[in-house]
Each structure stands twice: as C-alpha cells, then as structure tokens.
Structure 1
Amino acid sequence: MAYYGRRATPGDQSSSNYSPPPSYSALPPRTTRHYCSGFNATGGCTIERHSPGLCSTHQEQGVWLHPAVSRITAAERKAHAEARLCCGLTKMYALCRNRTAGTFLFCWRHGQQRVPATVGAAPGPEPPQRAIIRERAREFQRIRDESRAQDQRARDRWAQEEQERREQARERAEREQEERRQRQQQREAEDEERRQQHQERERSERAEQERAWQEQHRRSYQRQWRDRTRRDRERAQGAGEEQRHREQQERAQENERARGGAAGRAGEEPADVRTRGTLLQNHLTASAKFDNTLFSPNNRNTFSRIPWPIFPRPDGTIRMRTFKTAREIDVILKNTVRRFHPDRFSANRFVVSSIQDPWERSAALEAAKVVSQTVNACRENV
C-alpha cells in the first residue's frame, strides 16, 4: 500500500512502499475576460464574470440599458426632477413618483440606479454595455447641470432684481424722509409765523386796551376837573345851596319814575316792569338756543355769544318774582347753574375750546365761575 503526500520517517526511507505524490497540471488559461458593466465610485467595476452582464452590486444600473430610457425626453425628465420626484425607473420602466428632498435625486428604492460622476474607463477591455450606461448617464448629468445652471441664473437674476428693488426702496425711503423733513420744517415755519402773529395781535390788543384805559382815565379826570371847577364857580357865586336843592329834586323825580310813577294810569303795567320782563324773556330764549347749539372749528364760539345773566339795571338785579312763580324761578336758576358750572361749561359741546382767542377763552372761564357762584347764592336766598 502506497502513501501519497506523507513525509516518510527515517525508518521508512529504506522501505520500498514509499513513492512521491503525482504532479497536477494547471487549468487551461481563459481566452476572454468578462468584467461587470456597472460603475462604482472609482470608475468601472473590475469584477470578472464568466459571461457578460452586471454583478449583483450593480444590477440596478442595468435599467440604463433598456430602450425605454431613450424614449424619456430631456424636458420630461427635467420637469419630473424639478417637481422633486425620484429620477429612477420602476419595473415598468416609467419614472418613479416617489417624493425626494431635492431635485435630480433618487429615492431609497432606486438609489442604486444612480451612476457616480466618475465614469472613466476601467483597466482592461471594456464591455459594450458600459459605454451605453456611460453615455446615458452623461446625458442625465447634462440635463441636471443645465437645470441647475438655469436655476442659478434665475437665482442670480432674482438677486440682482432684489438688489435693484432694495436700492429703489432705499431711494424712495430717502425721498420720503426728505419730503417729511421739508414738510416738518414748513409746518414749524408756519407755526412760528402764527405764533408771532398771535403775539403781535396780543401786543396790539394790550396796547389798545392801555390806550382805552388811558383815554377813559383822562376823560374821567377831565370830567372830575370840570365838575370841581363848576362847583367852585357856583360856590364862589353863592349858588351852591340852590344847586343842591335842585339836585335833590331831580333825584326825587328819578326815584318816582323808577317806582312806576304815581301818575301812571290805573291797571297799566309800568314801562320799567315791561322792559325787565322783555329782558328776562329774551335771556331765556337765548339760553335755550345756546343749550341746543353744537360748537366746532367751523362754528366757533365767542364771549358775546354766551347768554350771560346780566341786565342793564341800576341796581344790577331783576326781581323775578314779579314775572315767574317760585317753581319756575327754581327751574331757571337750576338750569343756569348747570349751564355755567365750571366742569360742565369747559367740557360740554366745545363751548370753551371752540373760542379761538386765548384771552377771551380764559375770560369766559372766569366769568362762568363767577356766574355759577352767584346763582348758587341766589338759589339759597330764594
């Protein structure tokens, strides 16, 4: 029995049963090498195959070899990719409808169909299918590059237009700011002019009042001087006593006329009483009209338009009991207090705020305060 491949011991070398192992001849060399037609990150795949085709890793890239790929136009692929849909092909060789995060991308199902950007030739013979895959992949990359370049041009154009819009907006804002500044300066100039005119008017009014007061004082002084001179002259002539007697008689006659006169017709109302009744009725009518008037900048109020309860009587009063009952008198006084109350008078119906002259406005407030206090005192004494 022979042993092949076992090292003989020193004792076996002399044995006739030991023989060297037979020699094995190598397989005949392969005449044609077949490489995978797919592409990897470094270029063409270098995996050898016994027959032309794709390895298991690049099996999905075989979709580029199908004739249906050539029937999809560049416009269709571009519109499909710009809609953020998958650029891969389904089993029916139609564009995939899955959503992607961007343009010209593949979904998770067809990610292996994407050919790397480096599609250079691999060492050794190249399968004809790889040239087809390379050409169609380059066409897809060309469509992608053109779309991205167009998008970049659109972005650049939008950025330029946005810059122009911002420049125009800035210039418009500067113009508006300049116009507002000019209008503000014009308003300030007009306000300054109105203030100066108002001050000039106030100075003129004060000067006019001063002249009027001086003229009144001068006339009063002249009248007093004439009266004193006349009295001195009459006293010097010895007619002082007769003059006093005559003045007493005149005062008695005036008092008699004020009381209605004893010589008046029986049953006839004196003229003085009739005059006071007319004044009271006119005052009530003017007060009612004033209460129903709404003042505004177009309908300004003045000091003279306010129905002040003032009557031209020597004693400064009107005895209302002669014309009205106690209830009517209370109603009239109550309405007067309500009309001239300081809080209501200054805030109601723009009575005071519509007065244009500040001096006249302050005088109206002071007069209303005096009237309110006086009428309140009258109500307590009625």
Structure 2
Amino acid sequence: MSSTHAPAPSAGKRGEVIVDQITCDFSGTRVLHETDLMVQAGEFFTLLGPSGSGKTTLLRIIAGLIDFTSGSVAIDGSDVTHLPTQQRDLGFVFQNYALFPHLTVAQNIAFGLKIRKVRGAALTKRLDEMLELTELGSLRDRHPAQLSGGQQQRVALGRALAQRPRVLLLDEPLGALDRRLRQDLGSEIRRIQQESETTAIYVTHDQEEAYILSDRMGVMEAGYIRQVGAPREVYSAPNSDFVANFLGETNSFAAEVVGHDRDGTTVRTGEFAVTAAAGSPLLIGTACTLSARPEQIRLSASVETVPAGYESVARVTVTDARFFGQTIRVRLADERGSYLVDLDSAEAIPTIGTPVVMSVRARSAVLIPTH
C-alpha cells in the first residue's frame, strides 16, 4: 500500500481525491496494482514516472474515462466510482490542448460555461476573471492559430478552470514545448492553480517539471506508486534503487550495516566506514546499498586531505571530466563500478587518469535495502 500522507486540509478548499485499492487490467495484463493514493484539497500533486508506468491510466481512472478491475475513487468524501465523467466536476488539460480553431480566446474559455447555461452578467464576470487570471485579456479576440504554444496552453487552462471544477487534471500539457518554455509555463500553471485554489493532479515523465510544480509527488513504476512525498524529500531520501536512479543521478556502493546512533547508521563499504542518514533502522550485518547524490561528493588527492564534514567512501580513477557551466561533471571508476560527481565550476577540472579519493558528506547518503 502506497503512502497517503498529505498536508493538513485548508478550510474552504474543495477537491480531496482518494483512490482506494485500484487495480486495472488491459487484455489480461495488469497495468495498475492495488493502488492507494490521497490527494489533499488544494494541493498540486504530480504523478511522475517513465512511459508505461501507469500514471496516465491512473489519471484517466480518476477522470472516469477508463473502466478498471477493482477499487474505488472518492472526491470530497463522495464515492464517484460509478459516476460518468461529466458528473464528477473535473477540469481537463491535455497535451494537444483541444482548442476550437474557429472560436476566439474568449469564446474558447466561455464554451463550457455556455454549455452549462451560464448567461448574461454571470458569464461576462467569470470570463473576465479567467482572462485576468491567465493574463490573456489583450488576446481575447484572437483565434488559436494566432497564438503561441504557451498562449494556447493558458487558454486551455482558463477553459478548464472557468467552471470552477473541484479537481484539475493535466496530462503532460507541456510535453510539446521546448525546455525553457516548459519551465516558464510550469511556473504559470502553478501560479494559476494556487490563485484559483483548485486541486491539481498532473502527469509527467519530466522530473524537473515535478520539482517546480509539486507540493507532493508520487513516483510510479510498472503499475505501482513506489514513493510519495514532497519533491525534496523523495529526491533526498529515495526508498528504492528505482526512485534513486529515476530522480536524477546517484552513486551506489555495496555496503553492510555495522552500527547505529541517534544521528545515523554506520555502514562499511570496501575499506571505509560511512555514516548514512538516519532512516528506517536496518539490523547490524544487513547488506544494503549506500546511495549518494553527485552533488554530495567531493574529490581529494588522499584520505588525509578529505575536507571536514566528509567521509571517505572509495579510491577511484578519473575517467572523464567536462565543464557543464554551473558544474564540472566528473566520471570515475574502480573495480566495483563507475561513478558520477558534480563539482563546483570554480574548482580545477581533474585530469583523466588521476587517482583520487571520493568522500561523501556525512549523513547525506541514504541506505536502500538489498532485496
């Protein structure tokens, strides 16, 4: 059962979503396994994972667009498992935006309101609110073909939010845009979601999007939610090799638990003892993996010159070193494997073939049980 921990609810906000033991089979193949999830009212929650992990399937089950095998979905305490999509009070934004090409910006945003028979002053007021929120007032009379991709995305957001849905569902809406525009518009999505106080569930395979947008995120693999938490928490304390490697780069060292204290767990890896972050206690003698992010590692000429606050973890040889702007990316190797370190760009670029000692910031690495 996946973690469902969430922040305390905010008074007056709608849109709590609870997924309980959802399973889904396609043509005899299970694509979601006994999935539990709680998304708190008003939060921005991201489903993050590679293609085929089940994230879009889960989003579409919440939307009522896919039949599933077992389990239930509730919104604000009401079971909506058997309700059709149009009765769930949801808004949708998909990758292709699905704007009506013959309608103007204002007409696209107002479309759903008119379907719901909102007319006159109420329609004008809500349309003006949406144009202000999405900063599209000056473009209200343009057609989609006259807009940039980012502007089209804001129209789709405005249309989805105009009806004040309890939950906004977004399926990779930035996937067709370049990286810089994705970052800028990701921040816009976050701003609009916060100002409208709408619960958002967002699907992406891009970890940077998840970091920028999320209050919390769930990392998915092979039909399971592997870990749920705030972006920094999940990045800094992954609970599995998959999460550690999917969320950026990591260095893995085979280790064995040799001791505990209140500040952390001591493990032995090769000739060195390293203090890992405090976490779920592992029994002394347990084999595990010590996982250390590249930015938590330093390089020294010898064990004696390891900086204060760091602990030696391996003797290695530099196999590659390249300037990456803000960092120097260094690749290293020993008889056990290869490693990656990101040094500050002000440091000297190491020479290929140089023997060095890798050290890790004390209590920054995490332990992952070996299964």
Q: Same fold (TM over 0.5)?
A: no
The answer to which structure has the higher helix fraction is 1
TM-score with structure 1 length normalisation? 0.16
Structure index of larger Rg: 1
Higher-strand-fraction structure: 2
Q: Which has the higher contact order (CA 8 A, sep 6+)?
A: 2
TM-score (norm 2): 0.16
